[in-house]
Amino acid sequence: MKIITFTSRLTLAFMFSNTPFLAPAASRAETPQSEVASACSSLLSHNSPKSDPTTQLIAYLNDLLANQIIGDDELIRLIQGLEQGEFVNPISEERTWVSSAAYVHHEAIQAYENAKLDKIKILQWAKSSLKEKSRVRERRDETKTETQRTFQKSVFKKITPRNFEAYKKFSQNESMYWSPQVSINLTNPIEVGVTHVTQMQWVELMGENPAVFGDGPYTSIELVNGKLVKMQADNPVENLTWWSALEFANRLSIKHGLKPAYDLHKVKFLKGTSAEAGTLADEGGKLIINAPGGDIYKAEGFRLPTDAESEYLRQGFDRKNNKFYLEGNEIDLNAYAWFRENTTATQPVAALRPLVIDGNEFYDLLGNVSEWNQDWRTDEPKGGNNPSGPAKYDSGDPLAGKYRSVHGGCFLSNFQYGFRHSHDPNEPVSALGVRLLRTLPADVLQPVNLSRENQSSEDSGSAVTSSTDQLNLWSRLINRIGSLREVKK
């Protein structure tokens, strides 16, 4: 049997390990020999004639704790031995073979094996030290939790739409640009985003922040996927094209294992535009809906709402005689919507009262930013089961093949007109964002969370606002933020 003496083991440690003996950074640059001397000096510094062995050992162990040579495991080993009435070296033999530092200090502690020690005093010290280490960790975790920012999560809630009367007028002199009012029956359960897509949610998937209102009172610079991005994290993302919204929806679908709703491979996109920056624009080609028969209502993945679905989400809101109503009850619009009277810019989502649909809360449906819809605009909306907008050129409306439908008020709205607008799908604007939804299979009872009827109709005999009038209205809104868009560029 080969016996390795203290001297030969120490020699082997020097030969085969460059592991520093002491944890502090200042000592790591020392040679192994100087580290041994440092370890011995640390021990001897507590070995004065005026101090008893117990005091010397506790002082030495305190040094090892402070330098992270020993930790919880060693303290527990020491405690378990002392509770059995034995002094057990807290540094095990196994550790001495993998760490030079552990070997040196193990041997130093062994010098106390035959000393007259107050085991009760050492046990009290060890338990107190272990408890204090635990308290320090808890305080550190609490501080981390308190200082760690939390952001609006991407949450979807289930809605089961029904038959309803769509495209109602607000008042005789404030009609929408469409006619006539029609009866719509939506037959598919859907899960709808509780809020607009936020700047943080966009950046997490796309890597860039296209928002004009990335600067503001809530601005911060956040590290997202290894990249520092400036944003107002919980404000709605805006200043993005319709095509950019489609690409975002596809990426969210892929992230959650769903088949993307949109096949974009046959679309020819303009060079120099990108979905990440919100500028993706087409110059031809064909958009394919990944669903049986190209029916957007049958797509599996996340998508934009159809014009009819957007109408359903807002059907409980109404205006009569310059007063606002929700489900027939008069309300203070300032409590529900960010619009021209209470803001000049976007605001964090979910800061105001929600609309409640099927018992779930949905925020900012009436204001903050307007939202892209799936359909082309039309002056002749369809009724019936699950209607979708016209094909690009099959309507007499000269704008039907150029503009996509837009729903909802925004921070520029004065609410003299309705919530249904339209906009060029290739043109980003800071008053326009996105809210996603997806069709649920009929047997799905609960939506997938990702980590919101009464009806009334107005006199339909009022004059219909012309397409040109409607276009001028939306253009005026866009012109108000022209300077902002120039700054963004």
| DSSP class per residue in 69-123 | SS-HHHHHHHHHHHHTT----SS-HHHHTT-HHHHHHHHHHHTTTTS---HHHHH
Is residue 92 in a domain?
A: yes
- Whole-number pLDDT of residue 168: 61
Please tell me whether residues 396 and 260 are part of one structural domain. yes
Mean pLDDT of 43-68: 75
Cα–Cα distance, 305 to 374 (Å, whole number):
6
- Whole-number pLDDT of residue 131: 86
Residue ending a domain, among 99, 120, 147, is 147
Is residue 28 in a domain?
A: yes
Q: Name residue 376's beta-bridge partners.
A: 404
Please tell me whether residues 338 and 209 are part of one structural domain. yes
Please tell me whether residues 167 and 108 are part of one structural domain. no
Cβ neighbours of residue 241 under 8 Å, at least 6 residues apart?
273, 278, 279, 280, 281, 425, 426, 427, 428
Cβ neighbours of residue 336 under 8 Å, at least 6 residues apart?
326, 352, 353, 354, 355, 366, 367
Is residue 223 in a domain?
A: yes
Please tell me whether residues 126 and 272 are part of one structural domain. no
How many C-alpha atoms does 184 have within 13 Å on its Cβ side? 27
Please tell me whether residues 290 and 260 are part of one structural domain. yes
Is residue 117 in a domain?
A: yes
Angle CA 431–436–442, to nearest 5: 155
Q: Which is higher by pLDDT, 34 or 92? A: 92
Domain that holds residue 222: 157-488
Residue ending a domain, among 87, 117, 147, is 147
Please tell me whether residues 97 and 223 are part of one structural domain. no
Residue 405 has pLDDT above 70, yes or no: yes
Please tell me whether residues 136 and 229 are part of one structural domain. no
Please tell me whether residues 307 and 402 are part of one structural domain. yes
Q: Which is higher by pLDDT, 157 or 389? A: 157
Cα–Cα distance, 145 to 313 (Å, whole number):
36
Confidence of residue 421 (pLDDT cuts 50, 70, 90): confident
- Whole-number pLDDT of residue 164: 86
Residue 284 has pLDDT above 70, yes or no: yes
Is residue 152 in a domain?
A: no
Give the range among 275-279, 407-411, 453-457, 480-484 with minimum mean pLDDT.
Answer: 453-457
Is residue 329 in a domain?
A: yes
Here the contacts of 483-488 (C-beta below 8 Å, separation 24 or greater) are: 484/212, 484/430, 485/212, 485/239, 485/428, 485/429, 485/430, 487/212, 488/212, 488/239, 488/430
Mean pLDDT of 340-366: 93
Residue 227 sits in a domain whose CATH number is: 3.90.1580.10
Mean pLDDT of 457-473: 37
Please tell me whether residues 252 and 323 are part of one structural domain. yes
- What is each CA distance from 266 to 51, 179, 241, in whole angstroms? 85, 34, 18
Q: What is the pTM of this model?
A: 0.64
Confidence of residue 171 (pLDDT cuts 50, 70, 90): very low
Is residue 1 in a domain?
A: no
Q: Using an 8 Å Cβ cutoff, are 200 and 152 in contact?
A: yes
User: For the chain, what is the domain count?
Assistant: 2
Residues 268, 273, 279, 284, Cα dihedral to 10° = -20
Confidence of residue 388 (pLDDT cuts 50, 70, 90): confident
Residue ending a domain, among 112, 147, 182, is 147
Please tell me whether residues 222 and 100 are part of one structural domain. no
Please tell me whether residues 135 and 190 are part of one structural domain. no
Is residue 118 in a domain?
A: yes
Please tell me whether residues 133 and 220 are part of one structural domain. no
Residue 36 has pLDDT above 80, yes or no: no
